[in-house]
Amino acid sequence: MTAPVGGSAEPPADEYVDLPVRERERVFEGRVWDVRRDEFEYGPRGASIVREYVDHPGAVAVLALDEDDRVLLIRQYRHPVRAREWEIPAGLLDVDGEPPVEAARRELAEEADLVASDWAVLADYFTTPGGSDEAIRIYLARGLAAAPDVHDREDEEADMLVRWVPLDECVDAVLARRVGNPSLAVGVLAAAASRARGWASLAAADTPWPAHPGLRPAGG
């Protein structure tokens, strides 16, 4: 069998690079994220390329799984897609210096009034790598209990619904294309696959996150 171009025996893994940026401009400043225009060098001859993209702080999401293998889902209105969509708790990394796992703990408490004693990294992904630098880390949270405080909710969260759904039913909903939220889809599919492997794929909650541009070690 002929090997595909660029194929090798190594498992696929993203390569993080820092290309020379000739010019960077903020062309739009928004309430949550900005739009930037970068002119950077690419290729052996250092050709100049210009790309515009959403400059995003990144986010975390939480797949909360109870002792009966049920996932906590929330239904919330999202105006850009004009839908009340089912999601897992998630939120922006918008507190300076806050470790991602602490942001995940905060979001679980704020959106679901829950705390968890067992935290692990389940999956990392880019939402739209061709047009945004947004990176999301999904945590698996177990050992759940009621949070000591109940949070007030407003705006789109004011009529948010909460439901516990068996993990297998969540997988069915993704495969049947009944739900479209990416963190929900990635989270439940990753959880089902990890569970089938005895949860061997899970990583420590404080595992480095090089996929996030702001948390990437210098030079890599």
Catalytic residues: 157
Question: 111: Cβ–Cβ under 8 A, 6 or more apart, which residues?
Answer: 74, 89, 90, 91, 151, 157, 160
Alpha-carbon distance of 65 to 211, in angstroms, equals 25
Whole-number Å distance between alpha carbons of 77 and 87? 10
What is the edge-to-edge ordering of all strands in the sheet holding 21-29?
Answer: 21-29, 34-42, 47-55
Q: Which residues contact 195 (CB under 8 A, 6 or more apart)?
A: 69, 167
| Half-sphere exposure in the Cβ direction for 93 (13 Å, CA) | 23
Q: List all residues 6 or more positions away from 45 whose beta carbon is below 8 Å from its beta carbon.
A: none
CB atoms near residue 95 (< 10 Å):
12
Exposed / middle / buried, residue 2 (Cβ in 10 Å: 0-12, 13-18, 19+): exposed
The pairs formed by 20-26 with CB atoms below 8 angstroms and a separation of 24 or more are: 20/46, 22/48, 26/55
